[in-house]
A and B are shown apart, each in its own frame.
Chain A
Amino acid sequence: MTEYKLQTPGFDARFPQQNQTKHCYQSYLDYHKCVALKGSDFEPCKVFWHTFQSLCPHDWVENWDDEREKGIFPGDLSIDQFKDKTEEKKE
């Protein structure tokens, strides 16, 4: 038997409501922004991945992935604002 760790996204103060739709969606956006900024091997990005993986229905994620591939994803995935800050820090 494989080892399992019972772990799931916990309480998030930004989403205390019964309605968790935004929790799922924001994590999806955050993950893809994170990957675009830091690369898919960057460990902290995985937190977002696990969160949206656990909260979003599979169909939704598939749908969004398709939309991103076709370039018609309506969400804001721009990372320019974050880029400036990281570059400023380096300087």
Chain B
Amino acid sequence: MPLITSSKTQPVYDVVVVGSGAAGGQTAYTCAMSGAKVLMLEAGRNYDPVKETPMFQTNGQAPLRGGNTLDKPFGFYDATIDGGWAVPGEPYTSASADPAQKFWWWRARMLGGRTNHWGRISLRNGPYDFKPRRRDGLGLDWPMNYEDVAPYYDKVEMLIGVYGSAEGLENTPDSPPGVLQPAPAMRAGEQYARAKGKALGLPIVPIHRAVLSMKQDADKIPAKLHPNNPKAQRVLADAMRGRQACFWATPCGRGCSIKANYQSTTVHLPPALATGNLDIVPNAMAREVTTDAKGKATGVIYIDKSTGQEHRVTGRVIVLAASSAESVRIMLNSKSALHPNGLGNSSGKVGKYIMDTVGASLSGHIPALEGLPLHHEEGAGGAHTYVPWWLYKEQLAGKLGFARGYHIEFESGRRMPNGSTGAGLEYLTKGSYGRKFKEDARRYFGAQMGFAGRGEMIPNDDSFCEIDPIVKDKWGIPVLRFHWKWSEHETRQAAHMQKTFAELISAMGGSVRAKPEADGAKAIEPGGKIIHEVGGTIMGANAKNSVTNQWCQTWDVKNLFVTDGGPFCSNADKNPTLTIMALAWRSSDYLLDQLNKGNL
């Protein structure tokens, strides 16, 4: 992609966006398509999925059979560059030595950020999810309703391409007709689970993922997304014609060179660049937002990692989309006489109420899946099926002992072998080796199913981040220090997941590989491990107890916006990326309108 260097930036931009992932990509896209001049700063290197994706490489062609290492925590082919839970030279700290109170912070230093490798699961928050406190008295309500956001879910789904179906389930919104792409057929294991899970009352339905199951309609969608904007329509139509439908062969976590799935680098940035309205500077590590004597934001100071030099850029509007915790860090490091506690922090809430998703998993051996005739099971490079939360009524009646729900994700089928294939089978083989072992390996390949729960965490006072008073990164920028604590709502939910998975495996005639964990505090993944980090710059109805309004606009500085997951004031079980994009588009529309009216 044609990026620029620090010396080529314009004297002033309409909008300066920090970050290039789901939030930065969507913000820059919406602004540039509308004609605003946009500068994007990305802390990592340029990255081009068309040229760099290892689409068909097998694990046998990678060091260590592609397995996880400190350098590549999700494996060799994972589309994460210079990232993971530890980034060399860019530490963060934990306030407590207790592992249960540690927050794991995943970052990716590359154009497109975490959208290059994400799971592509794209679930809408439902009506309850925007008003959780009204429903059960816990947590925080959003200052808007599902109906306010729904049109933007429609737009994002049409732009990025999401497959799924309409099921009419409680708090699990259907998209309007014509918005979603067709859901792919369920795999054998998924169909078997659906049949056997009925007895447990589990609604096993097509999941929604940002993968093109067919080519997008480039003749119709652009006019729907950009009415009265012929240039934007033309640019988007060209970009859509350059995307191919999924060819059902390779894992999405590597990225996609044919642009069949959504990543910012293949979907948001190419059309935004094609307008001529977007400049991108890579290797630009933002340090602080500058302000004028009246307290308005004026620009961003960043370190150019390729030279170590400090640079200043100027914008009429500044948008932080750096990931929720990184945006907190920038705001808290932006101190001035008018903003002594950091920018946008008169409420003292910047850094407060950080959340992740509750995660627990269990796998089982399903004898019915042994020895099925060979057939293609890669599918769309991820799940086709899931179980949306199904116990709303029981939960509201107080029967479950925890307040919020979870959904279940599946893993099944004979997928590309990795370094763990054929491993850990002793509990089934009783220790076979030789020809018997080879027979066993064939027999059990694809006869395992994995179940992962992804649940809602309620924001709490003990989970927050702040600036570490001592530690700085290699660029001299003070780092974040995290505080973390799950409440019993989360740990009990994790124990419930384990019980449910074991029941489902049993209903399928299977056996669990490891005993289900009854102690939720042991079953739950550490904070941050699910990489659904949100909160920290929460939105709310007034300036006293929140950082932004419903438009992701900070209460204190009207030309400063935060469009990543930071403004989330709850974290429903629905994976946050789709909502981040919907809110970023909505905020950008508001921002452009205010800019045109001269209000910023």
Q: Are chains A and B native binding partners rather than an unrelated pairing?
A: no
